[in-house]
Amino acid sequence: MVNCAKCGKELNDGDAYYFVPDQDLKDRYFGDPAGMDNMFCSKDCAPTQESLKQGHIKVDDEGVVHLYPDDYETESTDK
């Protein structure tokens, strides 16, 4: 089970999450080497909107949480 690092909301299988992929911004805002403080339930919970990316939570049969970053920009709507 993982939770939003800001508001503590539970993130479950299939839920979307937002994270900061940029190393400079990560150095500025986060300290956890595992990145568990770089996980947010919504854009509003993130410390910055700059280069924010989206991913999805996947929980396997053994309850292990996997994070799958979506490989596209969240703002991209063309095509």
Binding positions for Zn ion, rule: CB under 5 A: 4, 6-7, 9, 41, 45
**Residue 6: CB minimum distance to Zn ion, A:** 5
> 25 or 45, CB closer to Zn ion?
45
Helix (H) or strand (E) holding 17: strand 16-19
* Tokens 């080497």, residue located: 33
> 45 or 59, CB closer to Zn ion?
45
CA distances from 33 to 10, 23, 48 (A): 21, 12, 19
> 24 or 43, CB closer to Zn ion?
43
